[in-house]
Each structure stands twice: as structure tokens, then as C-alpha cells.
Homo-oligomer: A and B are copies of this chain.
Amino acid sequence: MEWEDIFASRAMRMRASEIRELLKLLEQPDIISFAGGIPDVALFPKDAVASAYKEVLTGPEALAALQYSISEGYRPLRDWIVGEMAKIGITCTADNVFITSGSQQVLDYLGKLLLSPTDTALVTWPTYLGALSAFNAYEPNYDRLTPLSNRPAASYVEEAEKKGGRVKFAYCVPEFHNPTGVTMTRAEREWLLDLGRDLDIALIEDAAYQSLRFDGETVAPILALDIERNGGDIEKTRTLYCGSFSKTLAPGLRIGWVVGAQEVIRKLVLIKQAADLHSSTINQMVIAKVAGSIFDEQVAKIRKAYSHRRTKMLEALAKFMPAGVEWTKPEGGMFVWVTLPEGMDGAKLLARSLETAKVAFVPGQAFFADGSGRNTMRLSFSCASDEMIEEGIGRLGALIASEVAAAA
């Protein structure tokens, strides 16, 4: 039958992300890869997870762990999250917390809840590619979010109306941004809250990397600032804080969460009920056990390992990159963002790098909603050893230097 003929228009927007295709390509063993933005398996709390499954399946909740459960999520896990949120200034109750299958699912559900086709979503240029993929299913337009710019709020409205819709939300990754590694300052967060107020839109705070700070000053979450602005009342806020266990405990269990005003949380729960009923009952119980016992030490362990790799990578970049190449200095997370000399193309550089230098990275263009950013690339240090970094950045620097020389 002619399937193309009956697909909904939104299905036409769906295509395999270039990054995903790239990652498949990079499974060749002779390539030094800084491409994958994934946690290091060697740091997973395997023993704690194994003990937790055993405990759950031999304990009083064993049968409940295998049964259907409520769409809101496992209550003890929501209670644990309430406690963690309180530590970073987010005062909420379990009714403000909703458990999802990874924080990627929150982005999909927020797109589903908020976006009609032709509506506008505000995102930074560049932004997390997975957020664009999730939102694309709901056929929005994108406009550029530029913190601290003087662009008047009215101009966002105007642009959105030209495209036949409304601005519905601004999306950002305030800590150790994927792909740039940069953290939003307090002033930028206040600017965003002002913009949210002026446009009366939702703010989506993607806090996937929030726990992974190595150094520098902690900045209050946007939701914490929003609560503060509203006299301590989360029910009056416009910010949805999306959290994840994928970077701290393990992504394979697919457990994340979102915190926000109950009016939104209740709608998201209904979406989940219709879409996949609930996240895995047993995995929620296991995450609750593991988080409840070893979360802080596990996070300390990861921070230490990634911090070392971040430092090594920054040192190697300083040592090997030619003049004209710039990069960010992340205080946490998994990524360094490199800006190549104007005119150089990250995708072409990758093609040559895979042939000659045998080093992989992600060309930056994929992270731009408008397809700009050709002269950028993302380097991930989360799975890199000292040797890989020294050797890989060395080769990459030499390749870039030869390209710069050839262009001169």
C-alpha cells in the first residue's frame, strides 16, 4: 500500500538525526571518538542497582513492582525528588512532581501539551538537538532566544503572528548546555523570567546536567527564582523543571521527572495515561532505592571523573589548537563547544578527520534550528581517557592547522 499517502503531515518532519547516523558510523574501533554525548558505563553504580532489583523483588512490594501502577509515578520516588528539589531552592510537594521515561519524554509531552502547528517555540541557537526532534512532531516554528539582548518582547509576538501562531514557550538548558557547555548567569535567568512574564509563556528548564557541576558558583535554578518571584508559591510559576537520572545513575532504566505547577502536571499525567500508561514500575522502585542510598556519593564520583577529563581536554585544546580556534570553558557537564575560523565547515572537517586523523566529533550545525553554525563542533569528554584526549585533540589540532594553512 502507499504509506506515504496516509502519513500525517507531522510524520514528514521526522527523519533520523544526523548525529544518530554519525554515531553508528563511529563504531569503528580505530576512531578516537569525542562524538557521543553519553555517560561512561564504567561509572554506573552497577552493584547498587543489582542489589536494588534484588531487594525489590524479594521484598513486600515484589508483586506490585511487576503490576500496572499510577501514571503520576511511584510516590516514594516523588517524595525523594521533593527533598532534592528543596536543596536547590525549589519548594514543592509530591503533587508537583511527575515521573517520566527519561527527561526526553517530558520534552515530547510539553510539545504535545503546548504546541499547535504554526506556534512558535523560542530556543537558543544552538540548542539540544533532541529537544528540536521532540518539538518538531508538533510542527512549530522556532525563533531565537538571545539572553540579555535588547530585542523587545513585542517583536517575538510579531514574528510568531506573521507565521500564523503564538509564542508558547522558551526552552533552555541553563547548566552546562548541550552542546555548548555554557551555564546561564543569574542575570540571564532573570532576563528570561522577565521575557516569560512579558510574553506570558511557559519556560522549560532542561536540567539534565544540573548535578554535574565541577567548579564555579552554583546559580539558582530558574524555577527557584520563579518561585521566589511568586512569594514562594510554585502554583503561580511558569517554569517546568525537567530532571533526569540518566547522567547521574543510569540511562538504561529510563527514569526522569518534571516539576511545576499542578495545573500543568495534571495535564501531563493525562497525556502519559493515554500515551504509555506509566513508566516502568519496577525501575521507579529501583531508582528510588538507589537514589535514596548512594545518590550523593555517586554524583561525587562522576563529578570527579568528568572534571578531570574536562580539565585534560581544555589543556589539550590550549596545547594543540591553532590560532583562530575558540572554545568554551565548561564548569560541568560533558561538552566543550569549539568555534572554528569563519568559513571552515565542521561537517567537511569531520569527513576529512574520519579519513586521516581518525578523530570523531559532532559538527555543530545540527544543533541550530535555522541550520546555521557551520563553523562549530561539539566535543564530548565524558567517555575519554587521558591518552585519547592527548592523542585525539593532538591529531585534530594538526588537521585544523593544516586546513587553516591551506585556506590562507
In the complex, the answer to whether B46 meets A57 with C-beta atoms within 8 Å is yes
Q: From residue 93 to 142 of chain A, which have CB atoms closer than 8 A to chain B?
A: 100-102, 104-105, 108, 112-116, 119, 130, 133-134, 136-138
In the complex, the answer to whether B6 meets A202 with C-beta atoms within 8 Å is yes
Give the number of chain A interface residues (Cβ < 8 Å): 85
**CA A264 – CA B1 in complex, angstroms?**
11
Q: 28 A-B pairs, CB-CB below 8 angstroms?
A: A1-B200, A8-B115, A8-B116, A8-B138, A11-B112, A11-B113, A11-B114, A11-B271, A41-B63, A41-B64, A46-B62, A46-B63, A49-B57, A50-B57, A50-B58, A67-B251, A68-B251, A101-B279, A104-B276, A105-B275, A105-B276, A130-B274, A137-B271, A253-B280, A253-B282, A254-B276, A280-B283, A283-B283
In the complex, the answer to whether A137 meets B166 with C-beta atoms within 8 Å is no
A276-B62 contact in complex given A8-B116, A14-B271, C-beta closer than 8 Å = no
In the complex, the answer to whether A267 meets B7 with C-beta atoms within 8 Å is yes
Min distance, Cβ A14 to any Cβ of chain B, angstroms: 4
In the complex, the answer to whether B277 meets A254 with C-beta atoms within 8 Å is yes
Across the interface, which residues of B come within 8 angstroms of A39, CB to CB?
Answer: 67
Across the interface, which residues of B come within 8 angstroms of A264, CB to CB?
Answer: 3
Across the interface, which residues of B come within 8 angstroms of A303, CB to CB?
Answer: none
Across the interface, which residues of B come within 8 angstroms of A2, CB to CB?
Answer: 200
Indicate with 1 or 0, residue by residue over A275-312, a CB within 8 angstroms of chain B CB atoms.
11111111100000000000000000000000000000
CB of A348 within 8 Å of the partner chain: no
**CA A42 – CA B57 in complex, angstroms?**
14
Min distance, Cβ A52 to any Cβ of chain B, angstroms: 10
In the complex, the answer to whether A49 meets B20 with C-beta atoms within 8 Å is no
CB of A53 within 8 Å of the partner chain: yes
Shortest beta-carbon contacts, A-B, top 5: A252-B281, A66-B250, A133-B274, A50-B57, A41-B63
In the complex, the answer to whether B251 meets A15 with C-beta atoms within 8 Å is no
Min distance, Cβ A377 to any Cβ of chain B, angstroms: 21
CB of A9 within 8 Å of the partner chain: yes
Q: From residue 54 to 102 of chain A, which have CB atoms closer than 8 A to chain B?
A: 54, 57-58, 62-69, 100-102
Across the interface, which residues of B come within 8 angstroms of A7, CB to CB?
Answer: 113-114, 267
Indicate with 1 or 0, residue by residue over A169-195, a CB within 8 angstroms of chain B CB atoms.
100000000000000000000000000
A263-B168 contact in complex given A63-B44, A279-B254, C-beta closer than 8 Å = no
Contacting residue for A112 out of B1, B54, B137, CB 8 A: B137
**CA A168 – CA B10 in complex, angstroms?**
14
